[in-house]
Each structure stands twice: as C-alpha cells, then as structure tokens.
Structure 1
Amino acid sequence: MHLAADLPPHRGRGGPGAGPIALASALLRRENRRRRALAGGAVLASALLLVATPRLRHSPALHLFADMRNLLGVPNTLNVLTAYPLLLAGVPGLILCLCGSGCFGVSLRWEALGWFLFYAGNAAAAFGSAYYHLKPDDDRLIWDRLPMMISSSSLLSILVIERVDERVGLSCLISLLSLILVSSACERVLDDMRLWVILNFVPCIAIPAILFLFPPKYTHSRFWFLATGFYLLARFEGLADRKVYSVNRYFISGHSLEHLCFAMVTLILTVMLSFRNIKISRDS
C-alpha cells in the first residue's frame, strides 16, 4: 500500500501529532474515493443494463403460478396463506421501531426511518400479496410488488447508512423510492417492466457486496449474512417456482416458499436489532 503518495508534504511546525492526523486524512480521502467509485459504478451498470435490454412487456403467463390449488374455497390457497407470516414478522418490528431506539440497536435518525419503512413494507406486503393471489391480474399486481420493493430498497439503504455513510444512505433511500414510483408508472403506462426487474436485481448484488467490502458498525453482524442468505434463497425460489414445486413432489411451490423466506429475513433481522450494540472497539 503506497499511502505516502496520498499524504500532503510536511511544512512548518506540524508538531508530533501532524503525522497521524495527515495519515488519517489520507485514509479518509481514499475511503471517500472508493465509496464514490462504487456508487458511480453501480449507477452506470444499472443504466447500461436498462438501455441494453429489450423492452419487457406484460404477459398473461406472469400470473400463472405453479401451485393454483383451491383448498377450502380459497383460490391459490398456499400462495395466499403463506403471505401472512410477513405480517406476523413485520408487525412486532414495526411496533418496536415506533417505541424508539431504546428497544432497537439503532443510533442514527435516518437509519430508524429505513427500518420503519422496511417493517411497514413487510406488513403491507402480507395484505397486498394475499389480495393479489386471490385473483391474479394486472390491476392487482402493483399491490403485491410495491410493498416488497419498498421493503427491499429500504433494506439496502439501511445497510448503506450503517456501513458506508448516513447521507449517502439517505440519498440511496430517496432515489430508490423515487425509482420505484417511476418503475410502477412505466409498467402501467408504457407496459415496460425493465426498470422493475433492475430494481429487484440490484439488492441481490449490492447487499452482499456491501457486507463483504465495508466493516460493521454494530455487534452481531453475522445475522446480516444469515438474513442475506435467506433473501437470496427467496429470490431463487420465486424464479424457480415450478421446478421447486416438482422437486418436493407438489407439496409446496417455490413462490410460497419465497413468502416464507422473506418472513425469515424479517425475523432474523428483528433478533439482530434486539441484541446488537455499537462496536466501541472500532472507534477506539
């Protein structure tokens, strides 16, 4: 590592503390450059992907799920019922968020906002997903997608606030929420799903990358890795809906398991927030 190149030349009477201060300043500048490069690379890659891919139109097959069984008079029974664990996992976290930082290990104001939106999105997704699966069609689809997109975007922004920078994370949250609204408009008005697909794909790459590239601010950070594993598993099961359904001999579909895995993500993160503290050793 060639830190000397980043250090300003020593002039005058800097005193005995000038060296450590200059070194810390150089490291901070290097860290800021790395953050800007990562953010710029992510934005550029997403823009290129949006431009390079062809237009994605709605298809009737979008609403044909592997498990469409009607049990006890409830259409698409398991897809409807497996949405409600999101409510059971989301409401306690939402209540604890409203109780303030004394209940959760949250030290920053905008971080608390991100967690509130995450839990609110999960709770809303339970009703929205159940409503959609009772009669899947284009008009109801937004009620299934919008809460989960808010939840996943909030989760990514929380991680940026926690491990990168609070202002950068707040900008990320505002930008992603704005893009979610734009993607919904593009889907409804222009019949183009490209932006929606990208917004669902970005957290799958960005969350693991941030976990490995930036050190944790809090204790019990291993829960982030466990929750990320369930998050990626949920996305995979949703994409492999029919394959998963056939592998387990038509007991439960991949889409239903996707709901349950998302509920597990919420539960794991709630446990993490209940136990964690600020890592004092990092600041000492």
Structure 2
Amino acid sequence: MVLLTNQQIGTWKRKRILVGSLLICWLILMFFTPKVPLHSFRHHVFADKRNFMGEIWGWTLFYASVSSLAFGSAYYHLKPDDNRIVWDTLPILIAYSSLFSSFLVERAGERVGLSCLVLLLFISVFSVAYARQVQIEVIICVLVDGRVFNDLRLCLTFQLIPCLVIPVMTVLLPPKYTHSRFWLLATAAHAVSKIEGLADSKIYNFNGYTISGHSLGHLCSALAMVLLTVMLLYRSIRFPRLSELKGHP
C-alpha cells in the first residue's frame, strides 16, 4: 500500500512537471516571438493555388448528387419497385447533367456550360417524371391532353449523351486543363457500365453466378468517379480561354 502510494505521488509529480514545462514553453512562444496578424496578405497566399473543384457549381453538384446516389440506390435495391426507383434514377441524371455542364464550361465557355446546366437539370426532372407515370400538370398537361407516360427511352437517351458527345467534343475543342485524357477514360468506364447493366443476366450466367452484370456496372461507374477525381487532383491550367482574357491588359 505504501509502495503504491509512493508510485502515485511520483506519477503526479511527473505530470505536474510536464504541464509546467509546457506552460513555460507556451509563455515563451507568446512573449518572445513576433505577432502573426490575421489581416495579412501573406496569410491568404497558399502554395497550391489550383482550384480543386474546377468550375465550382457543376463539380459541387456532381459530387453532391453522387453522394446522394449512394443512399438513393441503397434504398431502391433494398426493395426494387417503381416507387423507389425515382431515388436511384434522379441523382444519376443530376450527376450526368452537372458533369456534362462542367465539361462544356471547360471546352465551350462558362456561359454555355451554366446555361446547359439549367436546361439539363430541367430535362433530368422531366425524364424521371416521363418514366415514372407522373401526369404532367398545368401547361404541359394541356399540351399532351392529360396523358400519363410510362416510357424509359428519355432516361436512357439522356444517360447515353456523355458517351457520345464527350469523346467528339474532346477531339474537336481544345482542352483548357491538362490531363484531359481522363475524360475519355471516365467516359469509357461509363459506357462499359451501361453495357454490363444491359447484359446483367448473361454476365451472371457466364461467370458461374459469381457477380452480375448490374453489380459490375456499379463498379465501373465508381471507377469513372475515381478517374474524374484523379483528374481534378492533378490537372492544371493549360491555357486560358479568349473569353477569360477579355477585360485584362
């Protein structure tokens, strides 16, 4: 008991010495080093001046929709039906819209990209409504005589746009940033994911019921996200566009 008490006393003494030493070091640091003012120009100058998110609106919406897709897709796959598929499809279409608009901002200019973002978001919502048997109300309801749609063609067509347009525009329009080949790699991964989804049962039977084509499609889609993220991490401005130089000497 006495030995245990002596050990406890020794431990407390060492702790007090350590705390006292740290306090003295902090006081020396505060009183003998120069101030670091908050309102200083150097305080806001960082070594890495790259814009990680690229064109902020499109990329932010893209990653937000991909994040929400993780929950929406999980909710749908727990009990697949016509009601739950909306929460799986809508985030995908929003992700495509924001991704394609970001590509247009880089290749065709900010005004074109942002205008297409608004238009594509509207088409995304309309595509889901068109496929989900939602009766289009007010003006649209009058134009189509109140019909109820049940057609996936618009959604499928909308998902094929990046596979067709991005490679063509990559060849025709010069890139603003480096590492533009990642656009083609991500597009290829996306195209493969769609093919795997269409061949769901055939792939599942071919590999001995190990993994389905739909599951492989999810993996390829995730690979496309990884490729785009790597592109954003390592790319830099190749050259500014003429529209961005207007107004500058």
User: TM-score, normalization: structure 1?
Assistant: 0.59
Q: Verify: 1:154 aligned to 2:98, yes or no.
A: yes
Q: Verify: 1:138 aligned to 2:86, yes or no.
A: no
Amino acid in the other structure paired with 1:245: Y
- Counterpart residue number, 1:69: none
Specify the SS of the correspondent of 2:85. helix
Report deviation, 1:166: 1.4
- The count of residues paired between Structure 1 and Structure 2 equals 180
The whole-number CA distance in structure 1 between the counterparts of 2:172 and 2:204 is: 36
The whole-number CA distance in structure 2 between the counterparts of 1:281 and 1:142 is: 40
Q: 1:161 to 1:185 in 2, by over 3 A?
A: same
- Counterpart residue number, 1:114: 58
Report deviation, 1:280: 3.5
Q: 1:280 to 1:172 in 2, by over 3 A?
A: closer
Do the aligned residues in 1 keep the contact of 2:162 with 2:187 (CA within 8 Å)?
no
Equivalent runs, 1:61-80 vs 2, <5 Å: none
Report deviation, 1:194: 2.8
The whole-number CA distance in structure 1 between the counterparts of 2:119 and 2:165 is: 15
Displaced runs of 4 or more, over 4 A: none
Gaps of 5+ in 1: 1-100
The whole-number CA distance in structure 2 between the counterparts of 1:216 and 1:150 is: 24
Q: Verify: 1:163 aligned to 2:107, yes or no.
A: yes
The whole-number CA distance in structure 1 between the counterparts of 2:205 and 2:117 is: 38
Amino acid in the other structure paired with 1:192: D
Do the aligned residues in 2 keep the contact of 1:219 with 1:277 (CA within 8 Å)?
yes
Q: 1:121 to 1:197 in 2, by over 3 A?
A: same
Do the aligned residues in 2 keep the contact of 1:241 with 1:253 (CA within 8 Å)?
yes
Report deviation, 1:129: 0.7
Specify the SS of the correspondent of 1:138. coil
Do the aligned residues in 1 keep the contact of 2:166 with 2:184 (CA within 8 Å)?
no
The whole-number CA distance in structure 1 between the counterparts of 2:110 and 2:51 is: 21
Please, which of 269, 275, 278 is the counterpart of residue 228 of structure 2?
Answer: 269
Specify the SS of the correspondent of 1:259. helix
Report deviation, 1:201: 2.1
Please, which of 49, 52, 72 is the counterpart of residue 104 of structure 1?
Answer: 52
The whole-number CA distance in structure 2 between the counterparts of 1:282 and 1:167 is: 12
Specify the SS of the correspondent of 1:192. coil
Q: Verify: 1:229 aligned to 2:180, yes or no.
A: no
Report deviation, 1:193: 2.5
Deviations 1:179-235 (A, max 9, x none): 111122222322233322221222221122111221111011122121111111111
The whole-number CA distance in structure 1 between the counterparts of 2:232 and 2:124 is: 26
The whole-number CA distance in structure 2 between the counterparts of 1:224 and 1:183 is: 25
Q: Verify: 1:127 aligned to 2:88, yes or no.
A: no
Q: Verify: 1:207 aligned to 2:174, yes or no.
A: no
The whole-number CA distance in structure 2 between the counterparts of 1:169 and 1:281 is: 16
Report deviation, 1:281: 8.9
Q: 1:105 to 1:125 in 2, by over 3 A?
A: closer
Report deviation, 1:236: 1.0
Query: Sequence identity of aligned pairs in percent?
Result: 53
The whole-number CA distance in structure 2 between the counterparts of 1:148 and 1:242 is: 22
Report the aligned-residue RMSD: 2.0
Relative contact order higher in (CA < 8 Å, ≥ 6 apart): 1
Specify the SS of the correspondent of 1:140. coil
Larger radius of gyration: 2
User: TM-score, normalization: structure 2?
Assistant: 0.67
